C-alpha cells in the first residue's frame, strides 16, 4: 500500500505523509486507531473554490459545450474527448449526471443495446450478455458509471453539474455559446427579484437535453422561439425499430454552431419515441461528435 521515502511516505494515491500519519496508513486495518492527516477547514474550502473557479475561467471559452449529460451527451463527450486538443464542457442541470441511463426502463435494471452498437460497449470494456440481435448490460448503471468515470479522468473534459442552460448565445445566426445558471436559481426565478446568469462561449454547442419534459428539448425549443428553426414537429408515439434508425439519421448540425443529439431530435424532427433501447443514443452521440468536429474545421 505504501512506499517509504527519506522524508515522508507516498501512498498509492500519491499523498505524501509523515510520522503518525504514516503509522496509521501502514496499519490501515487498525480502524479503532485510524488517524487522518490534519487539515484546516479553510484549506478544504480553498481547494474546492479555486479549482472550480479556475475551471470556470478555463472553460469560459470552450471548443464544445455539451448541454445534457444523458446517454447521448455522454457518448458525444467520450468520442470528442479522444482529441486532446479540444476543450469540452458538459453542462448538466441535475446534480447526478446520466439522465435516463441509470435504469434500463421503468424501474428495471438491465439495459438493452441493439447490434451493432455493442461495439461502443466493447470500446469502453463494459461486459454484457450476448443475444442474437442485441446485447444486455446487467445494470444500466454499469454503463453510466463506467463511461462517466473514464470520461471524467480525461484532462480536456469538465462536467458542470447542478448547472442549467437557460438560453443560447446567438451571433449573426450562429449559435456561439450558452447562458447558464445554478439549477436551483433557474428553478427560483419567480421567487427572486433578479438573478442574472453566467455565459460560456463555445465554438460549437451540442444539445442533448432529451425529449420534452420539465427541461427537456430546451435547445430546439429555444431555436424555434427565436426563429432559427421553423417548428418542432413533436415526438411521435413509440416504434422502437423506426426510432433508433431515425435518431441516428437525424443527428446533425441543425443550425450553424449547434448540433443536436439523442431524443431531443425526436421533438425536432417528429421521430417516434424510442422506449427502453439505448443503441441509438450511443451512436447518435458519436455521430454528433463527428458533426461537431466538422463544424469546428469550418
**Residue numbers belonging to the annotated binding site for substrate:** 72, 92-93, 100, 165, 196, 211, 263, 273-275
Task: Output the nine-digit C-alpha cell for 35.
Answer: 488517524
Among 209, 232, 286, 295, binds ligand AHZ (CB under 6 A): 209
In the complex with ligand AHZ, which residue's Cβ is closer, 9 or 251? 251
Q: Is 73 in the site for ligand AHZ (CB under 6 A)?
A: yes
Cβ 251 vs Cβ 266: under 8 Å: no
How many CA within 13 A on the CB side of residue 22? Answer: 13
Cβ 208 vs Cβ 261: under 8 Å: yes
- Give the whole-angstrom CA distance, residue 275 versus residue 124: 23
Residue sitting closest to ligand AHZ (CB): 70
Q: Is 218 in the site for ligand AHZ (CB under 6 A)?
A: yes
* Shortest Å, Cβ 236 to ligand AHZ: 11
In the complex with ligand AHZ, which residue's Cβ is closer, 25 or 255? 255
* Shortest Å, Cβ 27 to ligand AHZ: 43
With contacts defined by CB under 6 A, name the span among 4-12, 35-43, 187-195, 260-268 that binds ligand AHZ: 260-268
With contacts defined by CB under 6 A, name the span among 4-12, 58-66, 192-200, 257-265 that binds ligand AHZ: 257-265
* Shortest Å, Cβ 195 to ligand AHZ: 16
Q: Is 274 in the site for ligand AHZ (CB under 6 A)?
A: yes
Cβ 163 vs Cβ 144: under 8 Å: no
Q: Is 65 in the site for ligand AHZ (CB under 6 A)?
A: no
Among 112, 165, 168, 206, binds ligand AHZ (CB under 6 A): 165
Cβ 87 vs Cβ 59: under 8 Å: yes
> Phi and psi (nearest 5°) for 86?
-90, 140
Angle at 178 between CA 176 and CA 181, to 5 degrees: 160
Q: Of residues 94-113, which lie at the interface with ligand AHZ (CB under 6 A)?
A: 94, 99-101
Among 66, 72, 112, 255, binds ligand AHZ (CB under 6 A): 72
Residues at the binding site are 72, 92-93, 100, 165, 196, 211, 263, 273-275
In the complex with ligand AHZ, which residue's Cβ is closer, 9 or 277? 277
With contacts defined by CB under 6 A, name the span among 54-62, 122-130, 210-218, 252-260 that binds ligand AHZ: 210-218
Determine the size of the site formed for ligand AHZ (CB under 6 A).
31
- Give the whole-angstrom CA distance, residue 115 versus residue 103: 19
> Phi and psi (nearest 5°) for 137?
-85, 135
In the complex with ligand AHZ, which residue's Cβ is closer, 101 or 292? 101
With contacts defined by CB under 6 A, name the span among 13-21, 31-39, 188-196, 213-221 that binds ligand AHZ: 213-221
From 36, 88, 30, 97, select the one nearest 205 (Cα to Cα).
88
Cβ 94 vs Cβ 110: under 8 Å: no
In the complex with ligand AHZ, which residue's Cβ is closer, 83 or 167? 167
Binding residues for ligand AHZ (CB under 6 A): 67-73, 91-94, 99-101, 164-165, 208-211, 215-216, 218, 262-264, 273-275, 278, 281
Amino acid at each position: 500500500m505504501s512506499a517509504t521515502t527519506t522524508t515522508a511516505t507516498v501512498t498509492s494515491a500519491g499523498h505524501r505523509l509523515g510520522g503518525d500519519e504514516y503509522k496509521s496508513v501502514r496499519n490501515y486495518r487498525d480502524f479503532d486507531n485510524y488517524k487522518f492527516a490534519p487539515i484546516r477547514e479553510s484549506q478544504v474550502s480553498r481547494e474546492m473554490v479555486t479549482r472550480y473557479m479556475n475551471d470556470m475561467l478555463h472553460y469560459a471559452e470552450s471548443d464544445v459545450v455539451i448541454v445534457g449529460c444523458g446517454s447521448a451527451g455522454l457518448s458525444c463527450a467520450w468520442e470528442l474527448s479522444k482529441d486532446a486538443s479540444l476543450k469540452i464542457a458538459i453542462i448538466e442541470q441535475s446534480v447526478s449526471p446520466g439522465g435516463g441511463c441509470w435504469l434500463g426502463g421503468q424501474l428495471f435494471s438491465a439495459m438493452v443495446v441493439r447490434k451493432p452498437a455493442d461495439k461502443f460497449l466493447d470500446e469502453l470494456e463494459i461486459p454484457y450478455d450476448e443475444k442474437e440481435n442485441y446485447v444486455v448490460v446487467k445494470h444500466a448503471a454499469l454503463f453510466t458509471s463506467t463511461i462517466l468515470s473514464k470520461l471524467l479522468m480525461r484532462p480536456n473534459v469538465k462536467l458542470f453539474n447542478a448547472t442549467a442552460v437557460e438560453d443560447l448565445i446567438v451571433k449573426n445566426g450562429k449559435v456561439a455559446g450558452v447562458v447558464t445558471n445554478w439549477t436551483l436559481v433557474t428553478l427560483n426565478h419567480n421567487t427572486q427579484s433578479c438573478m442574472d446568469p453566467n455565459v460560456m462561449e463555445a465554438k460549437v454547442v451540442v444539445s442533448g437535453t432529451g425529449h420534452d419534459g420539465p427541461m427537456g428539448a430546451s435547445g430546439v425549443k429555444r431555436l424555434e422561439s427565436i426563429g432559427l428553426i421553423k417548428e418542432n414537429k413533436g415526438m411521435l408515439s413509440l416504434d422502437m425499430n423506426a426510432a433508433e434508425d431515425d435518431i441516428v439519421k437525424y443527428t446533425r448540425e441543425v443550425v450553424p454552431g449547434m448540433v443536436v443529439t439523442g431524443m431531443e431530435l425526436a421533438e425536432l424532427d417528429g421521430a417516434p419515441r424510442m422506449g427502453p433501447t439505448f443503441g441509438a443514443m450511443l451512436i447518435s452521440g458519436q455521430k454528433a461528435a463527428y458533426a461537431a468536429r466538422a463544424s469546428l474545421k469550418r
